[in-house]
Amino acid sequence: MLKAILDNKEKYQPGLSIDCVIFGFHDNQLKVLLIKTKYSDKWALPGGFVPVNEDIDQAAVTVLHGRTGLKGIFLRQFSTFGAARRTSVVVSNSVLEFYGIPLGEGKWYASRFVTVGYYALVDFLQTIPQPLDNNEIVEWIDHNAVPELILDHRQILDTALETLRMELNLMPVGYNLLPEKFTIPELQKLYETILGRKLDRRNFLRKITAIGILIKLDEKKSNVAHKAPNLYSFDKKKYEEVVKNGLTQGW
């Protein structure tokens, strides 16, 4: 894969890359999609280079689709990372050595790159993690148990999570993270997991109901030990309107 990019490096914007923080929610855990390669003992965020004939947002969509197989999901640019020493010579050289690429031929890859960070919210059950080749694995990992990451990827992940927490006060979250039908406790648990703190049950119900994005279904959750809670779904049209116009309350 890298050899093909270097052979066609004139097709990519030099010094510019993309890194995606892909969040999913499953078993009451906020999970992050991470990559492990054979040439490093550390994990990494999914990323890629920017074609010269492609908008940067579209390049991020391409990376996201390539790693998850999904289209039309929530994706937001949240920050740019351009520290002078963010590119590691040791890491770059180890990758080039692994692929048998001479240092002179790999100079473009080993140069300083500024990366644009995006975060995405995806349906865990609909996502099929996809490695690019046999030299890597792609796995979901609980955001509280993320191992050591390469370069500044820990900073990128932490910044994405901080941004997501702040944006909970500006827009609803859940459409791409929960199943089509869910309970209020499940929605509250999602918010608590993202925020990293407990929320008052009655206060949460009052606030989330006031937003006007929920549809109460004539169904109850089955196979539960206690009184079956009502099921809800999102009103997609109203949800999109609130995402566009923003919220006026905080959590």
pLDDT band at residue 177, thresholds of 50, 70 and 90? very high
Q: Are 191 and 168 in contact (CB under 8 A)?
A: yes
190 and 117 together in one domain: no
Q: Is residue 26 part of a domain?
A: yes
Write down the pLDDT at residue 25: 95
- CATH code for the domain of 142: 3.90.79.10
Write down the pLDDT at residue 39: 84
Angular region, 145: left φ>0, alpha ψ -120 to 50, beta rest: alpha
pLDDT band at residue 185, thresholds of 50, 70 and 90? very high
- Per cent of the chain over pLDDT 70 is 99
Write down the pLDDT at residue 24: 95
190 and 162 together in one domain: no
Write down the pLDDT at residue 29: 94
pLDDT band at residue 120, thresholds of 50, 70 and 90? very high
Q: Is residue 159 part of a domain?
A: yes
| Short-list 232, 235, 186, CA closest to 211 | 235
pLDDT, the chain, mean: 92
Q: Is residue 163 part of a domain?
A: yes
Domain end residue (candidates: 167, 195, 219): 167
- Encode pLDDT of 70-80 as tens digits: 988 889 999 99
88 and 189 together in one domain: no
Domain end residue (candidates: 135, 167, 199): 167
Composition of the chain by helix, strand, coil, percent to 5 = 35, 25, 35
121 and 37 together in one domain: yes
6 and 103 together in one domain: yes
0.75 surpassed by pTM:
yes
Q: Which domain holds residue 193?
A: 184-245
DSSP 54: S
Predicted confidence (pLDDT) at residue 223 exceeds the cutoff of 80: no
Q: Are 16 and 49 in contact (CB under 8 A)?
A: yes
pLDDT band at residue 159, thresholds of 50, 70 and 90? very high
46 and 75 together in one domain: yes
Choose between 247 and 190: higher pLDDT: 190
149 and 201 together in one domain: no
Q: State the Cα–Cα distance between residues 114 and 22, nearest whole angstrom.
A: 19
Q: Is residue 87 part of a domain?
A: yes
222 and 106 together in one domain: no
Q: Is residue 176 part of a domain?
A: no
113 and 229 together in one domain: no
Q: Is residue 60 part of a domain?
A: yes
Predicted confidence (pLDDT) at residue 8 exceeds the cutoff of 80: yes
Q: Is residue 158 part of a domain?
A: yes
163 and 191 together in one domain: no
16 and 104 together in one domain: yes
H helical segments located in 8-145: 56-68, 89-98, 107-110
| Short-list 16, 17, 18, 25, CA closest to 164 | 25
Q: Is residue 40 part of a domain?
A: yes
97 and 15 together in one domain: yes
Domain end residue (candidates: 108, 134, 167): 167
- The residue count for the chain: 251
- Encode pLDDT of 35-68 as tens digits: 998 888 899 999 999 999 999 999 999 999 999 9
Q: How many domains would you assign to the chain?
A: 2
- CATH code for the domain of 197: 1.10.10.10
Contacts with 10 (C-beta within 8 Å, 6 or more apart), sequence order:
52
